[in-house]
Amino acid sequence: MPKKNTPVPAPSKGFQSHEWMILVTLMIASFLGRLDGTIVGLALPKIIEEFGITVSQASWISTAYIIANAIFVPVFGKLGDLIGRKSLYIFGIVGFTLTSMLAGLSFNLPSMVFFRVLQAITVSIDYPIALSIIAHTFEDKQRRAQAMGMWSAVFAMAAVFGPLLGGPLIDNFSWRSVFYINLPLGALGTFMAMKYITEPVKEIKGLKNFDIWGSLLLGISLGTLVLVLDQGQSWGWDSMQSIISYAITAISLLAFILVEKHQQEPVVDLKFFKNPVFTASLITSFLSFMGMIGGIFLIPLFVQTYLGYNVTKTGYLFIPMALGIGMSAQIGARLANKIPPRILVSSSMLFAAFAMYLFAGIDIKWTAWDVIWRLFLMAVGLGLGLGPLTQAATGTVPVHEVGVASSVLALARNIAGAFGTAIFATILSNSVTSNLIQIQNHSTVNTSNPTELSTIVQLMILKANVLSYSAVFKSAVLFMIIGALAALLVKESKRDFAPGEHTPEPIEI
């Protein structure tokens, strides 16, 4: 009988020769999943019109998706370690493709919400499993960093291509086309996954010790947290619904922590948080994504509301941003071999924060160029840091635990996006009232003409709204700067884990 600590043989040469095709395969599925999260929002007005529902009811199309995705990411991260990653990954691609078709065939709101939940469950397989496969595939540390940089850039590019692809599809076809676009790409991704991906798990443990209670408690905590973040503004942050959600979130999270301490195969291994590098990476990811997503989601809203752009033209503004992210991600991966991660990530986040600050002067007189070059600069900053940050977070844990570690990282980024959207939407709403009061207090009206008075009031309201956008961007900058400072704690691991190497304790840096 072999000893338990017998090293697992390194992947074969043939597996290594296909590593870049494996990366392309993973990028296709990851792009699809992230694209769906951004492109569907553009279709909501058409869905509201066809289903005859209210805006409040339609919000559940996105809310249900976000909640289900947050709940199942950590579960599938652990399942990949227990039952194998290739079969689970293919199941995710096939499931997402089929549920996209079903979502496109939705006939009312309940059916749409149900199929969106199924979509979210299947797409939540992608992130933790893909990162784990990358870690096992790329044995060379430099190539692994480059691969993670390229793969991480897909997330930002998908956010950019959402409005770029969604606008023409919706304008020229129908809202259903934003779901059908996943079918050919999903089929391609499935074929490539079956052809190129090799199962990295050498020892299948099975579901005998699967952490059911931990998964349920974590799911309850995350579900109520995302729910209140998404609905809190309409409910009221101090309403009874919000207070109940806060209580359920806190109680279930405490119970989860207590349960996880006694699990043989915990869904989230709490020892990760004893690793200072991993914890610093989580904090940096959370704060930077919170600022980035909280700021960027307002740009399409502003240009459509105040600059008069349609959906398609708005999408065109983001093309340079996509190019900037793709270019800088490659540069960042190469610089990661020469510059300490904490310096590179911190500098890139500060640069992105500077670009975000440039939006604080947003004005209705802006042209397309005023928006484009600022977005491009922000993309460069984000792209430089995404790959090294992901590598730093996953490079300090044994490769066989990358799936679980990456699921925690994905969870932090997803929750950060929900926090950012909720907080900055509230700031935007509250700022309008305070700005309007200040404008009125510092204005003198020298006319009694009703028409002129009406025009003046409208101009005051317009000015108050524009200033509110400026307040949000300044708030986003603050979070990104704090994230950049936290990145200084992201030190590089003193050793590199080879595939198959098992080290039960976290690395002390």
Per residue, the 3-state secondary structure of 153-174, as one string, reads HHHHHHHHHHHHHHHHHHHHCC
Q: Cα torsion at 136, 140, 143, 148 (round to 10°)?
A: 30
Ranges of each domain in the chain: 16-210, 212-262, 269-509
Picking from 319, 293, 333, the residue whose alpha carbon sits closest to that of residue 479 is: 293
Mark out the alpha helices in 261-340 (DSSP H runs).
Answer: 276-296, 298-305, 311-316, 319-335
Rounded Cα gap, residues 499 and 392, in angstroms: 16
Counting every residue written for the chain, the total comes to 509
Q: Quick one: which of 269, 62, 299, 33 has its CA closest to 151? A: 33
In whole angstroms, what is the distance from residue 202 CA to residue 465 CA?
A: 58
For domain 269-509, which CATH number applies: 3.20.20.140, 3.20.20.70, 1.20.1250.20, 3.40.50.150? Answer: 1.20.1250.20
Count of CA atoms in the C-beta half-sphere (13 A) of 497: 28
Query: Strand pairing partners for 210?
Result: 265
Q: Residue 48, SS3?
A: helix
pLDDT in single tens digits along all 509 residues of the chain: 444 444 444 444 444 557 888 888 888 888 888 787 778 877 888 888 889 887 767 778 877 888 888 788 888 878 877 787 888 899 999 999 999 999 999 999 899 999 999 998 998 888 788 878 887 788 777 777 778 777 877 776 776 677 778 878 887 888 899 899 899 989 998 999 998 888 766 666 666 777 888 888 888 888 888 888 877 877 888 899 999 999 999 999 999 889 888 887 788 778 778 878 888 888 888 888 788 776 777 787 788 888 888 777 877 787 788 778 778 877 887 787 788 888 888 999 899 999 999 998 888 889 999 999 998 998 888 888 877 777 777 777 776 677 677 777 777 877 887 787 778 878 887 787 777 777 777 767 777 777 766 777 777 777 878 888 888 888 888 888 988 888 887 766 554 444 444 433 333 32
Contacts of 100 (CB under 8 A, 6+ apart): 36, 119, 179, 180, 182, 183, 186
- Cβ 506 vs Cβ 278: under 8 Å: yes
Q: Rg of the chain over CA atoms, in angstroms?
A: 23
Domain 16-210, CATH homologous superfamily name and number? MFS general substrate transporter like domains (1.20.1250.20)
In this prediction the pTM is 0.73
Q: Point out which residues pair with 265 in neighbouring strands.
A: 210
Q: Tell me the sheet residues that pair with 269.
A: none
Distance of CA 61 to the CA centre of its chain: 17
Do 16-210 and 269-509 come out as alike in CATH topology? yes
